[in-house]
Chains A and B, each alone.
Chain A
Amino acid sequence: MSLDDDMREALDMFVTEARDLVQGLEEGLLELEDQPAGGETVNAVFRAAHTLKGSSGLFGLRHLVEFTHVVETVLGSVREGQLDVTPGLVSALLPCTDHISAMIEGIAEGRLEPDASQLADGTRLLAGLSPYLDGGAAPAASVATPGAEAAPAEAAWRLGLRFGPDCLRNGMDPLSFLRYLSTIGTVTGVVTDASGLPDAEEMDPESCYLSFDVDLVTAAPKAEIEAVFDFVREDSDIRITPSESQLDAYVRAIRAMPENDRIGDVLVTSGAVTEMEMAEALRVQQERAVREGTQPVPIGEILIEQGIVQRDIVDAALTRQRRTTETRSQDTRTIRIDAARLDKLIDLVGELVIAQSSTGVTPGVSAETSNEAQGEVMRLVDEVRHSALSLRMVPIGTTLRRFERVVRDVSMELGKEVSLTITGGDAEMDKALVERISDPLLHLVRNSLDHGIEPAAERRKHGKTQQGTLRLNAYHDAGNIVIEVADDGCGLDRDRILGKAIERELVAPGTALTDAEVYNLIFEPGFSTAEKVSNLSGRGVGMDVVKRNVTALRGSIEVETTRGIGTTIRIRLPLTLAIIDGFLVGVGPSSFIVPLDRVTECVELPPGPLGRDCMNLRGEVLPFIRLRQLFGIPGEPARRQNVVIVEQSGQRTGLVVDSLLGELQTVIKPLGVLFSRVRCISGSTILGNGEIALILDVGTLIAGHSDREHTRQAVAVG
């Protein structure tokens, strides 16, 4: 279906509104679970569903109308008092909100019809609601029944079975596996390969030399086929790939799937790859990355290399993933703005126009009046900028409240009792940042629930309250927004982290590390101490990704933990990505900008022996970095050099520069792709005189410096 522009625009608005409604619906349901008697909440939830149904009707989105209608009917009987709110009801309704949300996202991507898997989901969810529909007044019957939920379709597989030489001795007869396969499906072809048989004299009659390629058509999922070979997996090479004839079907199935961030999820859901194969491939990926110290090889490449799936399938999955990223980035095209803020901006621009017209037009005004008018214009320009920026600012509370659902679901799954406290929800930050930080936060929340907070029994044993507490807190601090994820769980185990790091060869045995350094190891790629890999975390993918995401947003992350008391993870982010207050410094012919909120003071560099990179600052030793040296700027240092003292996470460092050029409001221009690997520089800006100044990334600058110092000391000691 093609959409003209008007329709597209209207639909965009619908999507924005619908997202809010769904979130309202979800929050209301969670609130009802806590306080089932909340009459006002019931009304609000009912209205949300009703409005959603109504506006989807306007756009002729039949699937959405039909589904929401059922939800609305159930909520209607709750409102009428015919139905009590039970945990069961909430648990049946919450997945429905997810489903509605998925349909809305589908519409946002231009799919006005549901796909097969969505239809199947819908039918399943409505079936779950049917006990709550009074008298079975079957509105569900009006919902189109999809064909997809019939018996699972048969699929063709190609099994490559290379049994280990010892399997006969171990009592495993390959022939019995072949026989068993014909009980779970139809064996349409077998190629027995006897080319592995050695010469007569060398042959060991008790070793297995045969291998088989089997074509199997079965309705059983891949994991079930895989399970057949559980006993011989150790020393055999068993490969189960979708047969060539099936490729198109997989590619089609993957194309019809909802979009997903993770290619692994797409592949596992499609059935082409099992959880076990994915876990193994992830392990290989990490091992290799750690061993070779390079960027991880894409997981798809590893799966192909291991002969688990064909390239066509991985490519199809990749397009699902790529499209997700594209839709995400388009998401921010429409944004809701508080009308009062817009009015204020318009008001300011009006004032600016008046102030502008009063400067220098009338001849004969005194220089003093003219200056005053100029000053007024400057002030207004500044306010306009602030006000324009604030249009992009949204309170972070909306994002944080979404975690109520996560906490509820995850703690139910894990059988733990956890309450969530949210504070500082009205702290504001850039909308783009909010969107990009919500995934890392989600990971941290899950991690805390999974590994931080102990099961109720264990908590009682340690004399803690049975119910664990997860705290999400946000506040502004020196031009940054700080978001804390805190739990009152078991805390990090220093010894175990260190032990694991040594085992993984991340640190050399016997290295003396501070507590903070040890705790920071959890952000290393491929690091996970969880002894038990659960559904949620412990796969060793995650904390490093969280850190990478936070760093990409010019933020930093730190851990604070006490054994037995709890862990707090603190993310520090800039308020906006667009503008910073900068401090301009010069080194030779080059200019650099230091983010002003990092600068604590400036002093003159005291004369001292060259090569010693530290100075005495009021009785304290202050290490410093010579920017001229660091960036290899040619020429002699100025006769009098200055030190800009910057602070990052409580650590102070000096930056030695030639000249201090003053404060400057800096519009950040991101560096091009070409420079994406440059460290210590976070962006560039254009100065008033047309020259370019590079913006220093103080975090990596200091971190990099202490790394270099460490190596130097290590060399000196060793």
Chain B
Amino acid sequence: MTMTDRREWMGLVARSDPGMLAHLLGELPPHSLARAPETGAVMVRGRAGGTGAPFNLGEMTVTRCSVTLAGGEVGHAYVQGRDKPHATRAAILDALMQGDRAEAIRRDVLAPLARHASQRAATRRAKAAATKVEFFTMVRGED
């Protein structure tokens, strides 16, 4: 497990649809809550001029959770919104990815989530592309 890997799956799960994650993950393995799901706010920052000094834009709701599996793997999750079961599932997934079921989870849960996310992004891009202006110039006056 590399850090890049873990960042990727945690981000993917945080952005995923709660219903879809619940469906793909199915029955949850035995786990204990190292930190029960808690909803709070994250202050979102921007930069003046897009690239300059940071400023506080406003908050977003976030739910975090930490779990421990029977094998001792500890999973963490920070997910957008107030859905506590979603945060718990995300933390369980993070823990599962550190155990011997990692490959199966990658194939059966992460891969479909990633496909869904990239399809959504592609659809958005394609709709945006259809609204791209094609300029043409009218020839004016006499030559």
Our verdict on whether A and B bind, yes or no, reads: no
